Structure 1
Amino acid sequence: MPALLDPMFWLGQDGPFGAAVLIGVVVIIFIETGLLFPFLPGDTLLFTAGVIAAQAAPAVDIWTLTPCAAAAAFLGGQCAYLIGRRLGPALFKKSDARFFKQRYLTSSHEFFVKYGAKTLVIGQFIGVVRTFAPVVAGISGMPYRTLVIFSALGSAAWGVGLPLVGYFLGNIPFVEQHVELIVLAIACLSTIPVIISAARTLLSRGRLGDVSN
């Protein structure tokens, strides 16, 4: 696993936040969710932090970790939404722009009208989605009140749920002895929805191309 994606690189005894696990979790979660940087170990970081909290004389208390992680995810989502609201009009100003065409803005708005709430809650558990969904919500003009409600739900479920899973499994001998393997499995599982979505998109484009020909 690349160093940046390895939670123990950040939270291990010799890591940058080895002596300040709570600060490390909050900083990394906020950067991943709020500053458009999806290449950080959000899911595995929270699980590993929960495992650390389950150890004797832990570096972080689980009842402090969970609300702080949820708050960091929520605030990150607000930051990403504001970035989208700020940059969206400028990016889509020209109707004939090469990459940011206004029809993309229209389609993203229609998507968030139909599926925005579900995306903000369920997408919190999918790395790339939780990073960019609030940005696209801001670009497409999702009402801020709607964003706050469902972003709070998704952030609470993710920020509290994953550390608790790690915490309650942390004292199981198999988990203690195979943390790296379990972390790798979680990282792989979190990418499956993205791979499936990309495959469906490619298949649908292929079918459209066949019909047009």
Structure 2
Amino acid sequence: MTTLLAINPLDASSLVSTFGTAGIIAVIFAETGLLVGFFLPGDSLLFLAGAFCATDVGSGNPHLSLGPVLAGMSVAAVLGAQTGYLIGRHVGPVLFDRPNSRMFRRENVDRAHEVLERYGVGKAIVLARFIPVVRTFMNPVVGVTGVGFAVFAVWNAVGGLLWALGVTLLGYALGSSSHIDAYIIPITVGIVVASAVPVVLEYRRQKGCQAQVSADHV
């Protein structure tokens, strides 16, 4: 009980050290598929899982097997998002219609429609994978908007595999070439910053469009 209370759910290193491969698979599934998991550190968890696959047994750091980690992360990422989509498709409309719902709101559906129309279904689903929180909520929102099951499944697989395999293998590559302890904090910060870049670019693009519209009306 003491060990469980000492776990920091926001610390990827703590999660990897405590729960191992099976635990981080469950966390990735929850972060991508269950709305309550939006706060979990998916990006840094994948990265550190890959890095710990490169450690030596007996080095004092956690050691994971690359094959099971890659397979588990891929399955969890794809099935998690598909679960979120099904939640949105079957339960989402009811939640959106609730006037006091804090998690589902009509404006979120409208925003999803705007994103889907601007980027197209495939690009929106794939890009959402690399933006924290957005990757959790995009799946049920897409389900609510009526995107077909097969269409979502295809782009979900593309985005899920790019994200899960790409970030995990990046961690493995760096872990194989350097001592991971010296890089955990700066790399985690770097992942968070990199994840925020799409949001910043989208905000600047919207501001530019608004400024252009205002200029056209002058």
Give the structure-1-normalised TM-score: 0.79
Out of 136, 145, 148, the residue aligned to residue 140 of structure 1 is 145
SS in 1 for 2:121: helix
Out of 10, 16, 23, the residue aligned to residue 11 of structure 1 is 16
* Structure 2 segments unaligned to the other structure (5+ residues): 1-7
Q: Cα–Cα, structure 1 residues 197 and 172, in superposed 2: closer, same or farther, change >3 Å?
A: same
Q: Cα–Cα, structure 1 residues 158 and 107, in superposed 2: closer, same or farther, change >3 Å?
A: closer
Provide the rounded CA distance (Å) in 1 between the counterparts of 2:188 and 2:97.
Answer: 43
Provide the rounded CA distance (Å) in 1 between the counterparts of 2:80 and 2:206.
Answer: 28
Q: Which residue does 1:42 correspond to in 2?
A: 42
Provide the rounded CA distance (Å) in 1 between the counterparts of 2:25 and 2:148.
Answer: 26
Aligned-residue Cα RMSD (Å) equals: 2.8
Out of 177, 182, 191, the residue aligned to residue 187 of structure 2 is 182
The 8 Å contact of residues 54 and 63 in structure 2, kept in 1 or not, is answered as no
Q: Aligned partner of 1:164: which letter?
A: L
How far does the alpha carbon of each residue in 1:6-56 deviate from its partner, in whole angstroms, 9 at most, with x for none?
2112123xxx31xxx111211110111001222111111011011101011
Could you tell me how far 1:65 is from its partner in structure 2?
A: 0.5
Provide the rounded CA distance (Å) in 1 between the counterparts of 2:150 and 2:93.
Answer: 20
Provide the rounded CA distance (Å) in 1 between the counterparts of 2:136 and 2:38.
Answer: 6
The 8 Å contact of residues 117 and 150 in structure 1, kept in 2 or not, is answered as yes
Q: Which residue does 1:172 correspond to in 2?
A: 177
Provide the rounded CA distance (Å) in 2 between the counterparts of 1:159 and 1:107.
Answer: 26
Could you tell me how far 1:126 is from its partner in structure 2?
A: 1.5
Could you tell me how far 1:172 is from its partner in structure 2?
A: 2.4
Q: Aligned partner of 1:194: which letter?
A: V
Give the structure-2-normalised TM-score: 0.78
Could you tell me how far 1:146 is from its partner in structure 2?
A: 0.5
